[in-house]
Structure 1
C-alpha cells in the first residue's frame, strides 16, 4: 500500500498531513502527485470528495518550499481558481492545514465580501491565492494584484466554471500568468468543451482518471419514484423527509428560483430547511451550510453550482427534485451521500419532463435505476422559459406559477423533491465521522 512518505513530499508536508489525520493517499493523490512533483501539467478527472485538493495542493506547496522567499508586493506565486465561494473556502481551509509550520501565506478572494479588505491583503504579496474568476478580474482591473510572477495555475471544478460562463474570464486571466508555468486542471466531468480548454491551457499533460464516468459509490442505494407533476413531487418529498426525521437530506433543484421556492414550501410544512444558490449572499450561504452541517437544519435545498464544494459526511439522503440536464452531474450529486464509509440513499422524483434526462443517466451509468413507485409518465420536453418557476407542468409543459423572464442556464437544475420507495426498506444509517 502506498504511503504519503513514498510520494517524495517534503518532511514538513508529511508532518502536516499526519496531523490532519491523513493516513494513506487516495487514488487521485497517488496518481497525480508524482507527475506534479516532476513539473508536468496534469489533467485530472475525479469527483469532489476524492482528495483532489491534496492531489494538487501538496505537490504545489512542496515546489514552493524548494523556492523560498517572500512574494513581491501585490504578486502571487500560485493561483487556484474555483467556480464558487464555498469551494474556494473549502480549498483554502485545506491548504491552510498543509502550510502549517511554514511561512507561506494563503489568501482567498471571492465576491460578496469587502474588496477593499482583499486589496489590503494583497499589498504585501501572497504565496497561494485561491479565487473565483469574477472577483479576481475585479482586482486585476483595479491593479491590486499582478499575476506575471505566478508559476502555477490550478483550475478546480473546471466543468462548472464553463457551465457558469467563466470561459471568457479564464481566457483573460491565463495570459497574465507568468511563463513558463505549470498548470493543473481538475474536473468532475469531461465534456467536449473541456477537452478544448485543456488543449488551450495545458502543455503535454499527464491524464489522470480515477473514477470512470458514470460510476457511483457502491454504498449508494439508488431509486426513482415516478410522479405525474410538481405538486405530487412536493407531497412525496415531504413524505420521504418525514420518514427520516433524524437524517441529513440534500435536495437538488434545477434553478435558483426553484430552490428557494421549494425551501419555503418545506419550511411552511414544518421542516427545518435552508437553501443555497447563486442569489444568496456569502453570509447567507455560510450560515445555511453551518446550520446544515451542525444539524440545526435537516434539509438543504441547493442548485448544482452552489453545491460544488459541499463536503458534509453526515448526509444520509440525496433527493433529486429535478434531474440535471447533464447526466454526469447526477453522479456528482449522489456522491454527496455515502461518505466516509457510510451508507446512503439517492432518490429521484421523476415526472414527464425528467424522463429524457433519466434515460441519459441510465445510458451513462449502464444500469437501470430501480423503480420505487408510481407509473412511468409520458416523456415531456422541458420548457426553458419555466425553469425558474419551480418545475414542470403537465402535458405541454404548462408552467406552474409565474413564467420566467429568461431561460435558465443548462446544468442548473431547479428545486426538487422526492420520496424514496424506501419506507418498505428503511434501515438505520451509520453516521460518518
Structure 2
C-alpha cells in the first residue's frame, strides 16, 4: 500500500518527475514513466493523447503524447474499473500538542466547545503542532491563516485520527478548512488513481454558490499538491463538468442533484470515495435533498470516514447522523440550538410596508463606505430595489434564482472585489455566501422562518469581526416576534420595548402558522400532509391558508392565484402544499396537475 508523503512532508510518488517504481513494477509520474524492460510504466501526462492526454503505458496502449506514454503501439486492454483497497482511515496522522491539559481545558471553556465522545484527541492550538506536510503548510501560509479557529483546532486532530465527526457551529467559523486540511492529508495516503476511478474525497453542499466557494478554497491546496478537483452543480452546462470528471479528480465538491445525474449516467463512480463531508447538512435537508443524500451515500463504501457540519441539531439531522456515522465525535460550539453570533449588533426597526424604502435609504446614507447585503423575499422586489438604489446614486447589484450562471458569477465577483457596495439578493445568496468583509446585513423583507434570519445575518461578522444587522419588521411579521426575541436574548442583544410586549402576547406556537417551520410536521418538502413549507394549517399554501390565512393569498383552500377551485395548484392547494400528499407540486389533490387546475 503506497503512502504519497515522503519524510520531508512533500507529496511524492503520484506527480514527481519521472515516477517511482512500485513493488509490482508499475511506475507513476507526471514527467513520463520509463519502466524496466519487463515492467509497465504508468505516466501521468497533462498534455495530448487520445484519452484526454492522461495516461501512457510502456507495454500498453499509447494514450499519452508529448512526454507521456513511450512504448509500443499495441492494443492491449485498458486497466479495468475496480474498487480500490483503500488505506485504513484510522490513525492517519498523530501529533503532540504543545499546550498543557489545563490550557486545553481553558481553551474549550473560553470558546464554549463541548465534546461528546471518549478518546477525543487534544485540540491543536497552532498549525505547527499538527505536523502537516509542507505542501499543506504552504497553502496555510499563503492564505495568511495564523492559527486555527476553534472549530479547526478540534476538528482537524479528530479527523486526522480517523474519527467520524459531527460539528455544530455557527456560520463563518472556518469549517471549510476544518474538513479540507484532513481531506488533503487523506488523499495523500491513498494509492494512485486508475482510469475508471471516481474521487477519493466527496464534499456535498446545498447550493452552487457554497459549492463554488469550497472549491475555490480547495484550489490552493490542490494546486500545491498537484492533484485535481472539480465542482459539480446545476445551472451550468454539464459538458465541462463531465470533462473534468474524465480527468480523475481526487476531490469532488457537488450539490446533490447534479451529482445524482452524473452517478446515474455512469460518469462519476463512487468506487474510491472513502472520505465524505456533508456541509450545511441542515440546509440540505431544509431544501428537500434528504432522498438524494441517502441515495448518494448508498453508492459509497461503508468503510469511509464521514464529517457532518450543521448550524442546528434538529431531529432530522440527528437521524441522518445515526444512520451514516459510526461512533462520531460530537462537537458543539456555542449552543446546539439555533443561535446568532454575539458579534453581530441586531437592530429591529418597526415600520409599515410602504416605509421600507425610505428606512433603507436612511441606513445606506449613514453607511456609504460599507459593504452591504440586502435580503428581499421575491425576485421582483430584488430587481425593483436595485433599480431604485442605482437611481439614487448607489452602486447596487442584484442576485436571485432567475439570473443565469454567468450573471451570478459576474455579480458575486464584482461584489467580492469591491471595498464598498450593495448586493440586493433573495435567500439563494444567504446559504453559504462566503464574502468575509460584509459590514452590514439589511433584512428588507423579514424571512419566512427564524432559521433563515439566522443564516442571513450570519453573512456579517465573519471570524472575529463585528457586524451590523438591520431588520424591517411589519405587522405581517408579528407571529415571528417570540422566536426573534428569543434569538436576540440568547445573543445578549437589546430588545426594543415594542418587541418585548409583542413577544409576550404572541401565542407560543403562532410563528408556525404563517410561514412554517423548516422541517414540517404535516407538510413541507416531502413529509406529506397539509402544510407545505410549513406545519399544520399554514405555510405557502397549506390546507387552509398559506401565506395569508384561511381564505386568501397564494393558495388558499379553494382559490389562490386564480380563484374558483383552481389557480396554480388545483382543487385544494393553490401554489402550495409543497411536495406533500395533499397539496402542491404533484400532491393527490393539488399541484400543477390537480383535478381542476387552471
Deviation at residue 3 of structure 1 after TM alignment: 0.6
Q: Give 1:223's aligned residue.
A: 347
CA distance in 2, matches of 1:397, 1:355: 18
Q: Give 1:70's aligned residue.
A: 193
Deviation at residue 264 of structure 1 after TM alignment: 4.1
Aligned CA distance change for structure 1 residues 111 and 74 (closer, same or farther; 3 Å):
farther
Q: Does 2:242 correspond to 1:119?
A: yes
CA distance in 2, matches of 1:116, 1:159: 30
Q: Give 2:325's aligned residue.
A: 202
Q: Answer 1 or 2: higher relative contact order, Cα 8 Å, separation at least 6.
A: 1
Q: Give 1:371's aligned residue.
A: 496
CA distance in 1, matches of 2:501, 2:363: 19
CA distance in 1, matches of 2:442, 2:293: 33
Q: How does 1:385-404 map to 2 (within 5 A)?
A: 385=540
Q: Give 2:360's aligned residue.
A: 237
CA distance in 1, matches of 2:267, 2:475: 51
Aligned CA distance change for structure 1 residues 341 and 348 (closer, same or farther; 3 Å):
same
CA distance in 2, matches of 1:71, 1:52: 31
**CA-atom RMSD in angstroms:** 3.2
What SS class does the counterpart of residue 302 from structure 2 fall into? coil
Q: How does 1:249-398 map to 2 (within 5 A)?
A: 249-295=372-418, 298-339=421-462, 341-367=464-490, 369-371=494-496, 381=514, 384-385=539-540
CA shift digits 1:276-319 (9 cap, x unpaired): 23332221211111222233872212233432222223322111
What SS class does the counterpart of residue 337 from structure 1 fall into? coil
CA distance in 1, matches of 2:191, 2:181: 16
CA distance in 1, matches of 2:172, 2:501: 33
Which is richer in helix? 1
What SS class does the counterpart of residue 309 from structure 1 fall into? coil
TM-score using structure 2 length: 0.61
CA shift digits 1:109-151 (9 cap, x unpaired): 1112221221121113210001111111111222111012211
The alignment of Structure 1 onto Structure 2 pairs a total of residues equal to 403
Conserved? CA contact 1:33–1:58, under 8 Å: yes
Conserved? CA contact 2:356–2:444, under 8 Å: yes
Q: Bigger radius of gyration, 1 or 2? A: 2
Q: Give 1:99's aligned residue.
A: 222
Structure 1: where are the runs of 5+ without partners? 411-433
Aligned CA distance change for structure 1 residues 181 and 341 (closer, same or farther; 3 Å):
closer
Q: Does 2:130 correspond to 1:7?
A: yes
1:54 pairs with 172, 177, 183, which one?
Answer: 177
TM-score using structure 1 length: 0.83
Structure 2: where are the runs of 5+ without partners? 1-98, 100-124, 516-537, 555-559, 562-566, 569-574, 580-598
Conserved? CA contact 1:85–1:282, under 8 Å: no
CA shift digits 1:62-101 (9 cap, x unpaired): 1111224124425111111111111111111111112333
My pick for the range that moved more, 374-383 or 85-94, is: 374-383
